Amino acid sequence: MPHLPNSHATVDLAFSLHPYTNLAVHEDRGPFVITRGEGIYVYDDLENKYIEGLSGLWCTGLGYSEKRLVNAAMTQMNQLPFSHSFAHRATVPVIELSEKLINIAPGNLSKVYLVNSGSEAVDTAIKMVWYYHNAIGKPEKKKIISRKRGYHGVTVAAGSLTALPYAQDDWDLPINRILHTETPCYYRYGESGETEEAFATRLADILDQQITNEDPDTVAAFIAEPVMGAGGVMTPPKTYFEKIQKVLKKYNILLIADEVICGFGRTGNMWGSDTYGIKPDLLTCAKQMSSAYFPIGAVMLSEPIYQSFVENSRKLGVFGTGNTYGGHPVAAAVALETLKIYEDDDILGHLVNISGHFQKRLAELSKHKLVGEARGVGLIGGLELVANKKTRKQFPEASKASVTATEKILGQNLILRPLPGDVIGICPPLIITEQEIDDIFDRTIRGLDEAEVALR
C-alpha cells in the first residue's frame, strides 16, 4: 500500500528512474518499497504482508525463499564467479544447463545460446533470423511478423515487435522490417456468430494475405507467445496455431515461440508450445528459467539453423555476436538448480493438481459485474473489465478501470497487475497451494467490489 515517504522513498525520488511508471504520479506518491520475501509473500518497508499474485513480473515461480537457489549461487560464486563463452571457452554450469534445456525442449531444437533477459533473447532471435537468411543465400527474406498486443520486450528490436502503444509511442518504434498482424483474442475481436474455429481461420487467412501482399520472399519469421501475457492474458482460439503454422510452412517462414512468460510450467506443461502444439524453429525463454533469482535467458534453435551458422562462420571466420554476461556461470548454476527443483519437487505434477482449482476460481469471476471475461490456462489468468457485460463495451480510457481495480485489490494486500485493454493479470508462483489460491481470489473479489463502487 502506498504510504508517506520515508528516508528510502525520499532517496528514491531524488535518484531513481522507474520503468513502466507514470513519472508525474510517482513524483506525488513515491515508491512502493519491497524489503523482503517469503514463499508467495512479500513485505514492504512498514512490514505489511502481501501475496505476490503476479510472481513479480511473471517470473518467481519458486517463490521468494528457495534456499537451494541461494546455495547454488553462493557455491558458484566461491568457485568461479565469472567466466565467458567467447572464443571456445566454456564452464561446467553452462554446459550442463545447455544439455538440460535441450533435453526438455519442445520440437526439434538442438542448440542453446545464453543471454541475460527475455528482451535480449528476442533481440538475438531477430539477429539469428536475419543472419540465417543471409547464410542460406536469401538476403531479401528479412521481415518479421508479430501480433498486435503481443509483448516481446522493450529493447529497440524487441520493442518493435511489442505492438503496444506504450512501448512504441515517442520511442520511434517500430523499426523497418517489422510487421504486425491481428490479435487472436476471440472475446474481444471475434465477430457476431463466429465460432472460435472460424475466427482462427479468418486470422490465418489475414496472415496469408498479408504475407502475399508483402511478397513471401521478403518475410522471414513469425513470432508468437503461446499465451499473450503482458498484452492482456489472451489464450489462442481453438485451432489457431495449427492453422497459423500451415500458413508459415506454405511460405517457408520460420516460427519463433516466445516462451519468456509461458515456459517452465506456467501453462500446465513445461512449455506453452507443448500445450498448443507449436513446433518452433527458434524459442526464446527467461524469467522462470531461474525463478528470477538471477538474470538469465536463452535462445534455442533448430539444427538446420545452427548448421547454417557453422558454414557462415567458416566463411567469415567467426560467429560475430556475443554478450559479456551471456552464459554467466552463476546465472547458469542457479538456472540449472531451478530446473532440478522443478523435477525433484514434481512442479508439473503439482500444477496438474492445483491448476484446475485455479481455473475454476478464475472462471467464477466471470459472474462479477465488472468482469466481461475471465480467461486463462494452467496457472495464469486474466480478467477483462467492462462497463457493460452484454455489449462488452469498455470503460472510458480516462476511467483507468484496471488501474483502479488493482489499487483496490492492493488494499486487500494482494499484488496483481493492470494490463492493456483493461485486463488484470493473475500469475502466482508455481508453488502456491489450493488454500492460497482461494485466498487470492477471495481478496480479488473484495477488491473488485470496491472498484465497482468507485467506477460506477
pLDDT in tens, 291-348: 999 999 999 999 999 999 999 999 999 999 999 999 999 999 999 999 999 999 999 9
What mean pLDDT is predicted for residues 215-228? 98
* pLDDT value at residue 9: 86
pTM of the model: 0.95
Cα 245–196–437 angle (5° rounding)? 95
The total number of residues shown for the chain amounts to 456
Domain span including residue 248: 69-344
* pLDDT value at residue 163: 93
Distant-in-sequence, close-in-space partners of 156: CB < 8 Å, separation ≥ 6: 123, 173, 175
The secondary structure of residue 385, as a DSSP letter, is E
CB 411 within 8 A of CB 451: no
CA distances to 241, 247, 248, 279, 284 from 272, rounded to whole Å, are 11, 20, 19, 11, 12
C-alpha cell read off for 449? 467490489
- DSSP alpha helices (H): ranges in 169-287? 186-189, 196-214, 240-250, 272-276
C-alpha cell read off for 410? 492492493
In terms of domains, do 110 and 242 share one?
yes
Task: Mark which of 284, 317, 344 sits at the end of a domain.
Answer: 344
In terms of domains, do 51 and 144 share one?
no
In terms of domains, do 270 and 415 share one?
no
Q: For residue 23, is it within any domain? A: no
Cα 7–409–399 angle (5° rounding)? 95
In terms of domains, do 318 and 436 share one?
no
CA distances to 57, 97, 212, 298 from 102, rounded to whole Å, are 25, 9, 34, 11
* pLDDT value at residue 7: 81
Q: For residue 135, is it within any domain? A: yes
Alpha carbon distance 343, 364 (integer Å) = 32
In terms of domains, do 246 and 121 share one?
yes
In terms of domains, do 374 and 277 share one?
no
Indicate the average pLDDT of the chain.
96
Helix (H) or strand (E) holding 440: helix 434-455
What mean pLDDT is predicted for residues 115-119? 97
3-state secondary structure labels for all residues of 101-119: HHHHCCCCEEEEEEECCHH
